[in-house]
Structure 1
Amino acid sequence: MEQEIIKVFNEKHEYMGTSTRAQAHEKGLWHETFHCWLANEEYIYFQIRSSQKRDYPGLLDITAAGHLLATETVEAGIREVKEELGLNINIDEVVRMGMTSCSIVSEKMIDNEFCHVYINPFEHNWDVFAVQYEEVSGVVRANLNEAEAFFLGKTVTLNIEGYEFFPDGQRVRLARPVSATHFVPYREQYVADVIHFVKNEMYK
């Protein structure tokens, strides 16, 4: 299998060279990722990671995200939305929030990321999703205000609703409360910041 080559940086986001993705995670090298959240005035959307994924299978995650290859511009990361969710979205249709840093340390890897964050003002329609089953097994949404309270630590559960998708074209409706253990362990404040941006910069 061909290894992904990515750019690596120091903690100040100064370019240091290239590395394989596996080496970056093994050594904790800083690298760049692309995040695209689907959101609107009422809801923020999350993907359910495929059970086939090596890292964090079955957990709730950013709507669409991925590593930027060494040959790619930041804007080229919009391909992740098409690859993972089947949505044809152009870079000029999304709103740039900015760049943040995220660090996740686990037994398997040290994942130090500079995350380029974008928001797609999503007009809700469950029928538009055509997920990449190796990457994504479902899409759910949560009320924006309830999600903000949850990620700020004011509540311990969050109600989600959406669908799990299957390769035969079937989908099963999901509606249940979840806790922090159901999410990929990004900084809770990061997700709260995304929601604050949606509410105060996009839908004032």
Structure 2
Amino acid sequence: MEQEIVKVFNEQYEEIGTATRAEVHEKGLWHETFHCWLVNKDYIYFQIRSSQKKDYPGLLDITAAGHLLALETVEAGIREVKEELGLDINIQEVVRMGMTSCSIVSEKMIDNEFCHVYLYPFEHDWESFELQYEEVSGVVRARLDEAESFFLGETVTLNIEGYEYFPDGQRGRVVRPVSTAQFVPYRELYVAQVIQFAKNEMFK
């Protein structure tokens, strides 16, 4: 299997070389990722990570995200939306929020990322999704105001709804409350900032 090569940066976001995806996680090297959140004036959407994933299987995560390869532009990261969710959109349809840094340390890896964050105004229905099952096993959503309160730490549970998909093409309805333990451990307040940007800059 061909290894993915990514750019490596210092903490000041100065490029200092390249490394494999495995190396950056093993050594805690700073690298770039692309985040695309699906939002509208009522909801924010999350993916359910596949149970086949090595890292954080089954947890809720950014709607679509992935590593930027060494030869890719930031805009090329929009491919992740097509690959993971089956939505055919282009970079002109998304709104750039900016770049943020995120550091997650676990037993398996040290993940230091410079994240290029984009938002897509999603107005389609559940039938629009064609998931890459090895990566994503479902899509759920939460009400924007409720999610903002939850990620600000004002509430301890968040109501989600959506669908989990199975390898045979069937899907099951998901309606349940979740806690922070069901989410990939983002940097504190990151998702709240995404929601605030959506409300203030996209859906005034």
Moved over 3 A (4+): none
> Which SS does the other structure have where 2:71 is aligned?
coil
Q: TM-score normalized by structure 2?
A: 0.99
Instruction: Kindly provide the amino acid, as one letter, of the partner of residue 99 in structure 2.
Output: M
Q: Which runs of 5+ in 1 are unaligned?
A: none
Residue of structure 1 in register with 2:78 after alignment: 78
- Return the offset for 1:107: 0.5
- Return the offset for 1:176: 0.1
Q: Quick one: percent identity of the two aligned structures?
A: 81
- Return the offset for 1:166: 1.6
- Return the offset for 1:6: 0.1
Instruction: Kindly provide the amino acid, as one letter, of the partner of residue 31 in structure 1.
Output: H
Distance across 2 between alignment mates of 1:129 and 1:165: 10
Change (3 A) 1:124 1:188: farther
Residue of structure 2 in register with 1:158 after alignment: 158
Distance across 1 between alignment mates of 2:166 and 2:81: 18
- Return the offset for 1:169: 1.7
CA deviation profile, 1:68-106 (whole Å, cap 9, x unmatched): 000100000000000000000100000000000000000
- Higher deviation after alignment, 160-169 or 78-87: 160-169
Q: TM-score normalized by structure 1?
A: 0.99
Alignment of 1:17-28 (within 5 A): 17-28=17-28
CA deviation profile, 1:15-53 (whole Å, cap 9, x unmatched): 001000100001100000000000000000000000000
Number of positions where the alignment pairs a residue of Structure 1 with one of Structure 2:
204
1:2 matched to 2:32: no
- Return the offset for 1:145: 0.2
- Return the offset for 1:124: 3.4
Distance across 1 between alignment mates of 2:147 and 2:187: 14
Instruction: Kindly provide the amino acid, as one letter, of the partner of residue 186 in structure 2.
Output: Y
1:99 matched to 2:99: yes
Instruction: Kindly provide the amino acid, as one letter, of the partner of residue 38 in structure 2.
Output: L
Q: CA RMSD in A?
A: 0.6
